[in-house]
């Protein structure tokens, strides 16, 4: 999904990476099992912010279940053949 991975200038990446060092994980509690999103690991694996943050780092407007099960999470895993696709791969059981 190329729209998810546009390029970013090296200078901007340095600034943004510095800002985001602290965002280790992001947790989404919900009724079928909490999703713990390893944010920092994704920064490392993908090497940029722009692919996920079209408007700069921070909360993503309209991030919800539909986006998560689409290009926001699962769609990229399908595209890259990396990362979980099964419910239990993202939603902790119990
Ligand atoms: C694989 C996708 C992905 C990548 C790559 C990514 N992020 Fe995020 N980031 C997210 C998601 C999803 C959220 C949570 C959005 C929401 O819930 O509104 C988030 C949230 C954040 C937040 C807000 C955290 C909070 O709790 O308020 C910051 C700041 C942030 N990202 C910075 C960055 C920076 C800087 C980079 C690049 C070095 C980056 N992110 C790379 C997906 C990503
Ligand atoms: C790649 C990760 C991923 C996979 C795989 C995944 N989910 Fe999710 N799901 C999420 C995230 C992230 C959220 C939270 C979205 C939010 O709260 O903004 C979510 C939210 C949900 C919600 C809560 C909706 C709500 O409004 O409370 C349900 C129910 C759900 N998923 C069911 C499933 C089922 C069933 C499967 C398997 C068929 C599945 N998910 C697979 C990441 C995933
Ligand atoms: C732009 C692509 C992309 C997006 C968007 C993305 N992921 Fe991933 N995800 C990956 C890749 C690539 C890996 C494999 C990383 C590795 O193995 O180093 C991965 C791995 C994972 C893993 C396994 C981590 C581990 O330690 O093995 C989880 C869990 C995960 N993603 C959850 C999510 C959730 C939840 C979201 C949305 C909030 C999301 N991902 C969004 C590309 C993405």
Q: Say how many domains are in the chain.
A: 1
Kindly give the distance from the C-alpha atom of residue 53 to the centroid of ligand 1, in angstroms, as a whole number. 7
pLDDT exceeds cutoff 90 at 42 = yes
Dist. CA 74–CA 61, nearest whole Å: 18
Would you state the pLDDT for residue 68?
97
The whole domain housing 7 covers 2-90
**Average pLDDT score over residue span 49-68:** 92
Sequence-distant (≥ 6) Cβ neighbours of residue 5 within 8 angstroms? 46, 48, 50, 51
Sign of CA dihedral 61, 56, 18, 43: positive
The mean pLDDT of the chain is 83
28 is written with which tokens?
């989404």
Dist. CA 59–CA 9, nearest whole Å: 21
Q: Is 67 in the pocket of ligand 3 (CB under 6 A)?
A: no
The CATH number that applies at residue 75 is 3.90.10.10
Kindly give the distance from the C-alpha atom of residue 85 to the centroid of ligand 3, in angstroms, as a whole number. 10
pTM of the shown model: 0.89
């Amino acid at each position: 999904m190329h729209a998810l991975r546009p390029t970013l200038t090296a200078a901007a990446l340095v600034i943004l990476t510095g800002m985001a060092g602290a965002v280790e994980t992001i947790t989404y509690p919900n009724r079928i099992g909490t999703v713990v999103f390893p944010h920092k690991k994704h920064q490392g694996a993908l090497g940029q912010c722009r692919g996920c943050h079209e408007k700069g780092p921070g909360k993503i407007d309209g991030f919800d279940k539909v986006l998560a099960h689409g290009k926001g999470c699962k769609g990229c895993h399908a595209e890259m053949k990396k990362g979980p696709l099964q419910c239990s791969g993202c939603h902790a059981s119990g």
